[in-house]
Amino acid sequence: MSTNDPDSLAAFYGDALGLEVRFADPSRWVQFRLDGTAFAVAGPGEAPEGAAGLTVPVFEVEDLGSWPARLAAAGAEVDPEIRDMGGHGRVLTARDPEGNVFQLFSK
């Protein structure tokens, strides 16, 4: 995810979602450890050339119940509606402090 302030955005995702930093090059790149994959915030000049379009990271959580208040307290703008996708689960949509859309998913 591209950002002009990777340190600040990394602090948001670390605090709000409890993500563990795997690697950090301050003010340029912060990569988080996730089960079997990684999520990174990239500062100016660090995003791959030609990267365009909207990417929506989706983080799976156990239960969405406490997340709206937790995310709002961390500075996120939270959609008040948790979308029920039937047998697929439920999704909460939010925007981080820079306006990037992300979702939390629970079965």
Q: For residue 18, is it left (φ>0), alpha (ψ between -120 and 50) or beta?
A: left
Q: What is the pLDDT of residue 67?
A: 96
User: What's the CATH number for 6-106?
Assistant: 3.10.180.10
User: What's the chain's Rg over C-alpha atoms?
Assistant: 14
Chain segment 24-69, per-residue pLDDT in tens: 988 888 989 888 777 888 887 776 666 655 678 999 999 999 999 9
Separation of alpha carbons 55 and 91, rounded Å? 16
Instruction: Specify whether the CB–CB gap between 67 and 76 falls below 8 A.
Output: no
Q: What is the pLDDT of residue 55?
A: 76
Q: For residue 46, is it left (φ>0), alpha (ψ between -120 and 50) or beta?
A: alpha
Res. 83: pLDDT tops 60: yes
Task: Single out the residue of 64, 39, 41, 56 nearest to residue 101, CA to CA.
Answer: 56
CA dihedral 77→11→5→82, nearest 10 degrees, is -20
* pTM score, whole prediction: 0.80
Mean pLDDT of 69-87: 94
